[in-house]
Amino acid sequence: MTIPTSSIEQVIPGQGSMAQPEAGKPARTKRQRFLFLSNRKAATGLVILGIYILLAIIGPWIAPFDPGARGDDLMQGPSGEHWMGTTHLGQDVYSQLLVGTRSVIFVGFLAGIVATILSVIIGVTAGYVGGKTDEGLSALSNVFLVIPALPLIIIVTSIMENAGEWVVALVIGFTSWSWNARVLRAQTLSLRRRDYVEAARATGERSWRIIIFELLPNLTAVIASGFVGTVIFAVLSEITLAFIGITSSNTWNWGTILFWAQGQQALARSAWWWFVPAGLAIAILGTALSLINFAIDEFVSPRLRSAGKTKIKTNSGRTVRMRIGFTPVLSNSPRPHTHARPIPVVDHHGATPVVRKEPA
């Protein structure tokens, strides 16, 4: 539903920055292993995702009520007994949310895995083999890229009566691999002619070995970010499908909650507790996954990190903005802050006098 959050493809036109994410001397690997986690965004995202996965596993056991069971309190606001209020049938919203987590995480990850496997097979093959195969596979992935995925998913699942979680996950997985395949192909193309791959080929390694042991490890970051992006898309799609009411209503997920809330005009009856928790749960999960993706991007291309404090006060009390890629230039001040001799002041705006000719 959103556009892919990762911009790895756009980040690497120079192709150099991707070289070897896992490189390092053997002695230091122990320290480098958790380097990724030292990024604040990555750590936050992974912790939140971990909580969601935990809830997906234990959710149905710790839910205080049966999500479908009717109760006597109809449309009650949050209280000590019902933490997130109740529905028009007296069902406990908090329990529905907890039980629904499993379905959301399951569909998200299954679709992500299917799409990732497809994209690796198609993207890497296209990039590595080249020629006619490449043209055919690229055309295929471009076609899938341009065809609007969500309407297609909606129509396919609505035709299959009462599509369950497996069907939904597979349909999403089979329709959303194209973006990753494209990115992987571009990256494989740039890796293919690297010296170490040529060396492997020269020593007579087989193609499959080169692909699995030489190329794939260096594509890890791209694959991971593609996986995370697909999970976001799959979660949003599943919830959308449930919200418009075309998937099986036997299982609970957050979209089902919203479907019933919308159907019962929850907001018109100001039952905000029926809507808000599920929406926030989606938003927080999505944000966590996006954070992981930002962190992967930054890991691959450190330039993208949000710069910390960039305004620095000099000794003479001026403020200078430090920027990566630029050399900060201080205007010449009469008081030298280095041991160099002060250069006679020429002009405040530019040190070298250049005579400009006005265009005629």
Partner 1 sequence: MKFFLQRVAFYLFTAWAAITLNFFIPRLIPGDPVQALITKYQGQLSTQAIESLYVLFGIDKDGNVWSEYIDYWKQLFAGDLGLSFAFFPTPVSEVLSDSILWTLMLVGVTTVLSFGIGTALGVLAGWRRGSWTDGLLPVTTFFSSVPYFWLGIIAIYLLTGPDSFFPSGGGAEVGLVPAWDMYFIPSAIQHSLLPALTILISSVSGWILSMRNMMVTVSSEDYITVAHAKGLPERRVALSYAARNALLPNVSGFALSLGFIVGGTFLVEIVFSYPGIGFQLFQALGANDYPLMQGIFLIITISVLVANLLADIVYLFLDPRTRKEG
Residue 111 interacts with partner 1 (CB under 8 A): yes or no:
no
C-alpha separations of 121 from 4, 117, 184, 209 in Å: 20, 6, 10, 14
Q: Which of residues 254-293 bind partner 1 (CB under 8 A)?
A: 258, 262, 267, 270, 272, 275-276, 278-279, 282-287, 289-291
CB 209 within 8 A of CB 150: no
Q: How many whole angstroms separate alpha carbon 147 and alpha carbon 142?
A: 9
Contact residue for partner 1 among 16, 80, 148, 317 (CB under 8 A)? 148
Q: How many whole angstroms separate alpha carbon 191 and alpha carbon 359?
A: 47
Closest contact distance (angstroms) between CB of 266 and partner 1 is 9
Among 2-10, 59-67, 103-111, 214-222, the segment contacting partner 1 (CB under 8 A): 2-10
Collapse the DSSP code of 81 into the 3-class scheme (helix H, G, I; strand E, B; otherwise coil) and give the result. coil
Please say which residue, 60 or 262, places its beta carbon nearer to partner 1. Answer: 262
Collapse the DSSP code of 85 into the 3-class scheme (helix H, G, I; strand E, B; otherwise coil) and give the result. coil
Please say which residue, 138 or 333, places its beta carbon nearer to partner 1. Answer: 138
Instruction: Count the Cβ atoms, other than its own, within 10 Å of residue 282.
Output: 18
Please say which residue, 197 or 236, places its beta carbon nearer to partner 1. Answer: 236
Please say which residue, 109 or 179, places its beta carbon nearer to partner 1. Answer: 179
Please say which residue, 121 or 276, places its beta carbon nearer to partner 1. Answer: 276
User: What is the 3-class SS of 60-74, one letter each residue?
Assistant: HHHCCCCCCCCCCCC
Q: How many whole angstroms separate alpha carbon 101 and alpha carbon 116?
A: 22
Q: 162-185: b or e for each residue (b if 16 or more CB lie within 10 Å)?
A: ebebebbbebbbebbbbbbbbbbb
Contact residue for partner 1 among 13, 68, 263, 342 (CB under 8 A)? 13
Residue 47 interacts with partner 1 (CB under 8 A): yes or no:
no
Task: Measure CA 55 to chain center.
Answer: 21
Q: How many whole angstroms separate alpha carbon 245 and alpha carbon 251?
A: 12
Contact residue for partner 1 among 308, 317, 334, 344 (CB under 8 A)? 308
CB 38 within 8 A of CB 81: no
Closest contact distance (angstroms) between CB of 146 and partner 1 is 5
Contact residue for partner 1 among 75, 117, 145, 216 (CB under 8 A)? 145
CB 69 within 8 A of CB 91: yes
Please say which residue, 62 or 284, places its beta carbon nearer to partner 1. Answer: 284
Please say which residue, 83 or 272, places its beta carbon nearer to partner 1. Answer: 272
Q: Which of residues 206-225 bind partner 1 (CB under 8 A)?
A: none
Instruction: Count the Cβ atoms, other than its own, within 10 Å of residue 292.
Output: 29
Please say which residue, 65 or 243, places its beta carbon nearer to partner 1. Answer: 243
Closest contact distance (angstroms) between CB of 335 and partner 1 is 25
Among 97-105, 150-158, 196-204, 334-342, the segment contacting partner 1 (CB under 8 A): 150-158
User: What is the 3-class SS of 192-256, one letter each residue?
Assistant: HCCHHHHHHHHCCCCHHHHHHHHHHHHHHHHHHHHHHHHHHHHHHHHHHHHHCCCECCCCCCHHH
Please say which residue, 70 or 321, places its beta carbon nearer to partner 1. Answer: 321
Please say which residue, 149 or 215, places its beta carbon nearer to partner 1. Answer: 149
Q: How many whole angstroms separate alpha carbon 78 and alpha carbon 92?
A: 10
Task: Measure CA 307 to chain center.
Answer: 21
Closest contact distance (angstroms) between CB of 1 and partner 1 is 4
Which x/- pattern over 319-358 shows residues binding partner 1 (rule: CB under 8 A)?
--xxxxxx----------------------xx-x-x----
Residue 139 interacts with partner 1 (CB under 8 A): yes or no:
yes
Residue 171 interacts with partner 1 (CB under 8 A): yes or no:
no
Contact residue for partner 1 among 160, 167, 189, 216 (CB under 8 A)? 160
Among 90-98, 192-200, 202-210, 236-244, the segment contacting partner 1 (CB under 8 A): 236-244
Q: Token pair 């002619």 is at which residue?
A: 193
Residue 303 interacts with partner 1 (CB under 8 A): yes or no:
yes
